[in-house]
């Protein structure tokens, strides 16, 4: 029963994606092409985020903590 609800909600999300991007009206081969492109772009976005975002966040954190927290160190 739970599996069915999960499957239904996944199908609903997939259907929303089809409606929003207007790929509901496309023929099957056009849909496959569109899905491939979308999945590729999405995978690239996820990969970039995974590789680069933690490093950038850490560097930004260090930069800002140097401005605010670094002052007591320099006066001593």
Residues of the shown chain interacting with other proteins in the complex, contacts defined by CB under 8 A: 12, 15-16, 18-27, 30, 34
What is the closest distance, in whole angstroms, from the C-beta atom of residue 27 to other proteins in the complex? 6
Judged by beta carbon, residue 24 or residue 47, the one nearer other proteins is 24
Tokens for 43, please give them: 């995978």
What is the closest distance, in whole angstroms, from the C-beta atom of residue 39 to other proteins in the complex? 15
**How far apart are alpha carbons 27 and 45 in whole angstroms?**
27
Q: Pick the closest to residue 31 from 14, 7, 10 (CA basis).
A: 14
**How far apart are alpha carbons 2 and 5 in whole angstroms?**
5
Judged by beta carbon, residue 33 or residue 53, the one nearer other proteins is 33
């Amino acid at each position: 029963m739970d599996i069915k609800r999960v499957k239904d909600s996944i199908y609903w999300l997939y259907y929303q994606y089809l409606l929003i991007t207007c790929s509901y009206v496309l023929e099957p081969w056009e849909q496959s092409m569109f899905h491939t492109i979308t999945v590729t772009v999405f995978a690239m976005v996820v990969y970039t985020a995974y590789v680069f975002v933690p490093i950038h966040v850490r560097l930004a954190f260090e930069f800002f903590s140097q401005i605010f927290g670094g002052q007591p160190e320099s006066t001593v």
